[in-house]
Amino acid sequence: MSTVYQSLFAKNVFVQFVRRTHTASLAAKSQLVFPPVCGECIVPSTCALNSCTPVQPVRSASTLNARPRLQQAELADSANASPEVFDYTAFFEEQLEKKRTTATYRVFRRILRDVNDYPFADDFSTGEPQRINVWCSNDYLGMSRHPKVRECARNAIDRFGVGSGGTRNISGNTLLHEALEHELASLHGKESGLVFTSCFVANEAALYTLGTLIPGLKVFSDAGNHASIIHGIRTSKAAKYIYRENDVGHLDDLMGSHASPENPKLAVCETVHSMSGDIVPLAGFLDVSAKHNALTFVDEVHAVGLYGAHGAGVAEELGCMHRIDAITGTLGKAFASIGGYLVGDRVLVDTIRSYAGGLIFTTSLPPPVLAAARASVAILASSEGRQLRAEHKKRVAIVRRRLQEAGLPAADVPSHIIPIFVGDAGVCNSISEDLLRNHQIYLQSINYPTVAKGTERLRLAPSPFHTDKMTDALVDSLVKVWRAHRLPLKH
């Protein structure tokens, strides 16, 4: 990071924050009463004691007569009600109907993964559970089931409890937080690290902070960047310029056309695009950024744990971590816990720590999550991690080759993510449903707005624990479903 930016962060002379006061007035507080439930019960049909009922929130007697705002229009006296009364229920139903008619209404699958039988899970979406093979999980290396990771989480619960107790500023900062931050910084070859509750929050909070803090900042962002990056830049109201996905030539042109040498600039990219499987030409991105004296912000969310000798990501694999100012990553994918983080120079990270509302005003990550993440990071940096990555890479190559040999439109991309293009939201949803119901294979459909209209796809993420037999079943099932939907196969 150049001395100009270091001085700016160190002095903090350009900061102006607008404090927002949130007020709320409640006419009556709703007290919820829960029936007793046994400690063994997660789903009623799996209750080992057979003695409990599903948890049902019940309003206490004092609030049974309370009327939600959504019903106010219906309850108003028709003779006195104004024709201007806004019908909230009708409005929300209309918005949902728009989603349904465009096949973009999201349905969350109800599954419970089996820690002793990865990558299988039980699907409860239709009531009675059925055993399914999960092919779309971001738990890429199965680390959530690793005995050492689970042991560390259990030990942390036994010693420290299940919650953190507060924000980082008020009793919620622990030695576990600081140890994990130190290890993540070391993993990426940086001076300092900062842990967030998710990488969505890490990206959004950091980019919002930089965009509001640096005077006259111009942000140059890849068109394929994640929603968290888009939100952070947009809410900062900094001037933004979008370059074509992975097109560093376009980035160079935009920087040359819209920013003079004295303008502060920030270039933002993801190394692995989560829905296309493409990998950024990182060296070119860094060359262009250096040419224009831009700070660099690189999201390695879908790369950490999977690339590089120690699992630090694409930048480690290419030997260019030292050229990046800020790197963000997640603890919730290959590292199989939850949370996000940012690493970089001490003064930059300390500035984010001091001004990012997404860090300051939220409860910190709890001890078992931190302990599990630390264990996972350490394992994936070791020889065991290198072996897992080698097996993972091999399985991805096998699955991609088998899909293409069968004539399925599996994209030939360099990462571990394999998109299978469909091109229609309704058909994509139908294929996913058919695979789950009739073939016990879980492949999630990906539709607009996650991807552009007309590029709807299935997103496949093989793991090292998917076998040849499982791969055969996947390919055979996909071919059958493809034909049933009268989609073409390439031969």
Distances (CA, A) of 481 to 104, 341, 427, 436, 490: 21, 40, 11, 11, 15
Q: Which residues are catalytic?
A: 333
